[in-house]
Structure 1
Amino acid sequence: MSVRSRKPFYFGIFLLITSGLVLAVLRHMEMGIPWQAGEQRPVWMVEARIDFIAQNEPVKVSLNIPDNPPGFTILSEQAASPGYGFSIVQENRNRRAEWTIREASGPQTLYFMVQMVPDRSSEGVKPKRPPEPTQVFWEEPQATAVEEILARAAEKSSTPESLTRELIKLLRSEDPNQNTALLLTNSDYLELLTRMLNHAAIPARIADGLKLEDARRRQQLRPFLQIYNGESWLTFNPMTGQQGLPEDVVLWRQDSASRIDVVGGRNSEVSFAMLRQTVPAIQLAREEMTSEGLGLLSLYQLPIEEQSMFRMLLLLPLGALMVAFLRIVIGVKTSGTFMPVLIAVAFVQTSLAPGLIAFVTVVAIGLLLRGYLSSLNLLLVARISTLIILVIFITAGLSIMGYQLGFNTGMTVSFFPIVILAWTIERMSILWEEDGAREVMVQGAGSLFVAVCAYLVMSRPTAGHLTFNFPELHLVVLGLILLMGQYTGYKLSELRRFYPMKVYDK
């Protein structure tokens, strides 16, 4: 008789476990769902305050606002502008907040607030087509000085990044030569640096960054230098030449000619206030969740009532895994195959101590009443039906008694499956008659032991978090159960039978 190969079976198990893990990792990376239940993430609330004096005429205020700044993800934007119309408009390649009003006079204050979260995977907006360097014209003797300084910087560089660093070193030197001193005499340093880089065929621009410090007010933007290296925009500190954007700096303005434009007002000023908060990471993931990709398969798309139901149902595979392990590998005897899982679910609802008290009380009273029913020689269907009714009376009595005594312990028993309890009482009663009270105690204690173990696993916050937010992990649970289903060796509880052989061998 040929033996069927197990290779396809084990290959299928491998695919189940691998696909479950890969899908969970992809969900974590794509949707930002954390692995831990209580993980917190920082959120920055940044408020831009605009002050100006209106001149008793129509007013239009346009403020440059962040557009997917590198290192951050924008969660929400809102404005506080009583009496003003507000909208966010897209002008060329930048976003602007725009306020308008038919007529205003005197001091005016407008607010724009943005909520953002640090996101190291965010690289900002990449240009759709490579930018071209701005055409720059120089007059003598500045033209000769620019060529000489750029030539010196080019000798020690090979890339746009290295040329930028060398140029900053030359312009920021403590002992500048005559050419450098000539260029810096009547020129703004940042504007000069940007023009020289564009003259060297390197697209360059000035960006404004905001340093994030908790509970700070009246903060101003700081200038940064950005160059295009052929692939993306790179940020530099124009004073030190250090490449890269600090983690506590958000680029507020990148590709905009002006920070703020005010028509119908004067003496405009922009200042910033900020506040750092921490919120649950799963809350942020839900807010950023889309209906595309793995987000389409998320349980958060369901109504709240159905989500609550699935939170409990998705814990059952963990209980089944625990029951399979304890019965197949350890060899614990239980009353019924998956009765411990149902008991564990009830324990999750009631908490452990009240649930144990309620379960033991109901089963003990039920066994006493079942003993009386056996003397009536009823048919099986009638006996089970009678037990169901009696169990309902028992639970109702415990609930009333608990309420009168000021305890909720009696009321929690209603979470137990009534029909399963009645059938368990019937099975234990038959077992008592056939194998004696000792076997009833063994199986009853085993059922409670397995139920408690399953409860300890299912009641963990991490277990509920992972099973609900990463439902594909149930493929891993399924694979493990199938693997244990192939186990035909000795159970750990059976090893004690061979202990006398070990002693005799010695």
Structure 2
Amino acid sequence: MMHPRVQIGLVATLLIAFGIGLTLYKATRLGLPLLPGESREVWTIESKISFKPSSGPVDIELKLPQSLGGWVTLEEHFASSGFGFSVEDVGSGRSAARWTRQSLDHPTTLYYKIQAYRANEDALPEYPTRVDSPPRLKADQLAAMERLVEVLKERSTGPESLVKLMIQQLNRDDPDPDAEFLMGSYSGTRDSLMLDVMSFAEIPAHLVRGVQLQDGRRRQQLSSLLEIYDGDRWLVFNPDTGSMGLPDDFYVWQRGPGAVLRVVGARDSRLEFALVNNRLPAKTVVSMEQQSENFALLDFSIYALPVEQQGIFKGLLLIPVAAFVVVVLRLLVGIKTSGTFMPVLIALAFLQTTLWVGLAIFLVIVSVGLWIRSWLSHLNLLLVARVSAVVIVVILLMAAMAVLSYRLGLDQALTVTFFPIIILAWTVERMSILWEEEGGREVLMQGGGSLIVAVLAYLVMSIGVVAHLTFNFPELLLSLLGLVLLLGKYTGYRLSELYRFRELVNQK
């Protein structure tokens, strides 16, 4: 029978060779870059249309993006899910995807996915200037609208300053009485109210709808910008802040009037977006999409998943890297930690909160939690009740820190909720028990060791090359698994033990 050490060596060698071989295949045959510096930033935007069945035929129409503002579309994909499908011209250079079906008896989700990159920072092209007819309003609404427009005109020097004053007025905590009345009695949204104000002021205006580009964002909905014509050019404004200009992180989906999604024969429809970005050459993305069927067996690519899952796996694929750091530091260096892989979870939290903010949150919560736990120990509570009490205290601490940080304007600390609550509660419980059994010195050693390992794991996961390789070449994790198996058979001295017994070495 083969010796276990030989078995581990063979399995590890096969895993390492297979992972590296598949990586080289994708790099040479499919053109995926091994280094992120060889590429450009490509965004994958997936729209998800979900709805429930109603009566009669189903007709779904989604306006497609026009690739404005310097954006270039590399590839687009549609999921018909048993529907009839077509792409139709709807006028003014626009096109729309249309799904049709005679009947539907179950909730359904349709997908439209594009891959795009921004080639330049071109401004939006010219647009027909047209002032919409003022809407029909009730007598009291009409009077308030006229007074509001008159005040805005008196206090402004032109369309640009008028729009900024209007946005400021509608977003104030104590708006003008007329503005407050209109916002309270208006049947439309705030965006439609702004468009009606522009119409009464005889300023051409429309909405620019698009997607805020945030890597890994899921269930995002369309955002709106206000675009007006000042007599010479078109200007874009943020309706929340009043800032002017098209943001760099805004992908324009539709410019001008009209609904982005039209649903007939269904109910409870919802349009959501999932986003993920990666640095790839444009030609590589197109080549990969075109060859995915030919190389389905070997092209183990995360790009085959829906975008929502891509964003999830972009973070999950970093966990084995952090676990490898823990294995190296525990087996070769000999650092003690509180729990085997708790440092991995702390490192993941650091990715959300940033390092220094995360360290501060961790130290505050664990310190206060240990103090509360020491008080609870005197009450002789059962284990389940004690841990539950600690969980409640930890959540209350997180809520208090979030409110305090918001009041102080510290936005990074608002990500305190990303911390693994249950892990923190168990950390407090484990450290308190360790304090009772081994003393404070052991608590400091294991707690400090956990933080050291978590910080090192965070630093490794934050390296751009590591994130790039794990996402584009997940098969490298097989090679990482082989290294972990080899390290699992290591029985030699750890570095900490060599330091501990240094006097014996000197005596020899």
TM-score, normalisation: structure 2: 0.51
Residue of structure 1 equivalent to 2:61: none
Following superposition, the deviation at residue 387 of structure 1 comes to 0.9
For 2:500 and 2:350, locate their aligned partners in 1 and report how far apart those are by CA, in whole Å. Answer: 34
For 1:280 and 1:368, locate their aligned partners in 2 and report how far apart those are by CA, in whole Å. Answer: 47
For 1:40 and 1:379, locate their aligned partners in 2 and report how far apart those are by CA, in whole Å. Answer: 57
For 1:17 and 1:298, locate their aligned partners in 2 and report how far apart those are by CA, in whole Å. Answer: 18
Following superposition, the deviation at residue 386 of structure 1 comes to 1.1
SS of the residue aligned with 2:36?
Answer: coil
1:419 aligns with 2:425: no
Contact 1:358-1:412 at 8 Å conserved across structures: no
Residue of structure 1 equivalent to 2:391: 388
SS of the residue aligned with 1:410?
Answer: helix
Instruction: Write the mapping of 1:25-424 to structure 2, written as runs, cut at 5 A.
Output: 25-40=24-39, 281-289=280-288, 290=290, 291-292=292-293, 293-294=295-296, 297-424=300-427
Amino acid aligned to 1:370:
R
For 1:5 and 1:415, locate their aligned partners in 2 and report how far apart those are by CA, in whole Å. Answer: 41
Contact 1:400-1:410 at 8 Å conserved across structures: no
Residue of structure 2 equivalent to 1:452: 455
1:14 aligns with 2:13: yes
For 2:385 and 2:367, locate their aligned partners in 1 and report how far apart those are by CA, in whole Å. Answer: 20
Structure 2 residue runs without a partner (length 5+): 41-73, 76-277
Residue of structure 1 equivalent to 2:130: none
Deviations 1:233-280 (A, max 9, x none): xxxxxxxxxxxxxxxxxxxxxxxxxxxxxxxxxxxxxxxxxxxxxx95
Contact 1:33-1:285 at 8 Å conserved across structures: yes
Contact 2:338-2:427 at 8 Å conserved across structures: yes
Amino acid aligned to 1:320:
A
Amino acid aligned to 1:484:
L
Residue of structure 2 equivalent to 1:58: none
Calculate percent identity across the aligned residue pairs: 51
Q: 1:492 aligns with which of 463, 477, 495?
A: 495
Q: 1:471 to 1:456 in 2, by over 3 A?
A: same
Amino acid aligned to 2:302:
L
Q: Which has the larger radius of gyration?
A: 1
For 2:447 and 2:455, locate their aligned partners in 1 and report how far apart those are by CA, in whole Å. Answer: 12
Cα RMSD of the aligned pairs, angstroms, is 2.6
For 1:435 and 1:462, locate their aligned partners in 2 and report how far apart those are by CA, in whole Å. Answer: 42
Q: 1:477 to 1:296 in 2, by over 3 A?
A: closer
Contact 1:326-1:450 at 8 Å conserved across structures: yes
Q: In the comparison of the two structures, how many residue pairs are matched?
A: 274
Q: Which runs of 4+ in 1 moved over 2 A?
A: 2-9, 279-284, 294-297, 502-505
For 2:404 and 2:280, locate their aligned partners in 1 and report how far apart those are by CA, in whole Å. Answer: 44
For 1:501 and 1:286, locate their aligned partners in 2 and report how far apart those are by CA, in whole Å. Answer: 59
Following superposition, the deviation at residue 409 of structure 1 comes to 4.1
Following superposition, the deviation at residue 5 of structure 1 comes to 5.0
Residue of structure 2 equivalent to 1:464: 467
Contact 2:344-2:454 at 8 Å conserved across structures: yes
Following superposition, the deviation at residue 296 of structure 1 comes to 5.1
Amino acid aligned to 2:368:
I
For 2:4 and 2:307, locate their aligned partners in 1 and report how far apart those are by CA, in whole Å. Answer: 47
Deviations 1:332-372 (A, max 9, x none): 00000000000001111111111111111111111111111
Following superposition, the deviation at residue 412 of structure 1 comes to 2.1
Q: 1:428 aligns with which of 422, 426, 431?
A: 431
Amino acid aligned to 1:288:
S
SS of the residue aligned with 2:10?
Answer: helix
For 1:443 and 1:410, locate their aligned partners in 2 and report how far apart those are by CA, in whole Å. Answer: 25
Contact 1:467-1:473 at 8 Å conserved across structures: yes
Q: 2:442 aligns with which of 439, 442, 445?
A: 439
Structure 1 residue runs without a partner (length 5+): 42-74, 77-278
Deviations 1:14-47 (A, max 9, x none): 1100000000010111221101113237xxxxxx
The more displaced of 422-431 and 288-297 is 288-297
1:480 aligns with 2:483: yes
Q: 1:5 to 1:399 in 2, by over 3 A?
A: closer
Following superposition, the deviation at residue 406 of structure 1 comes to 1.1
Q: 1:418 to 1:282 in 2, by over 3 A?
A: farther
Amino acid aligned to 2:22:
L
Q: 1:3 to 1:309 in 2, by over 3 A?
A: closer
Following superposition, the deviation at residue 385 of structure 1 comes to 1.1
Q: 1:6 to 1:31 in 2, by over 3 A?
A: same
Amino acid aligned to 2:479:
V
Deviations 1:460-498 (A, max 9, x none): 111111001001000011001111100111111011232
Contact 1:458-1:464 at 8 Å conserved across structures: yes
Amino acid aligned to 1:476:
S
Contact 2:405-2:414 at 8 Å conserved across structures: yes
Amino acid aligned to 1:302:
L
Contact 2:369-2:428 at 8 Å conserved across structures: yes
TM-score, normalisation: structure 1: 0.51
Q: 1:412 to 1:502 in 2, by over 3 A?
A: same
SS of the residue aligned with 2:388?
Answer: helix
Contact 1:354-1:412 at 8 Å conserved across structures: no
Contact 2:344-2:457 at 8 Å conserved across structures: yes
For 2:416 and 2:326, locate their aligned partners in 1 and report how far apart those are by CA, in whole Å. Answer: 22
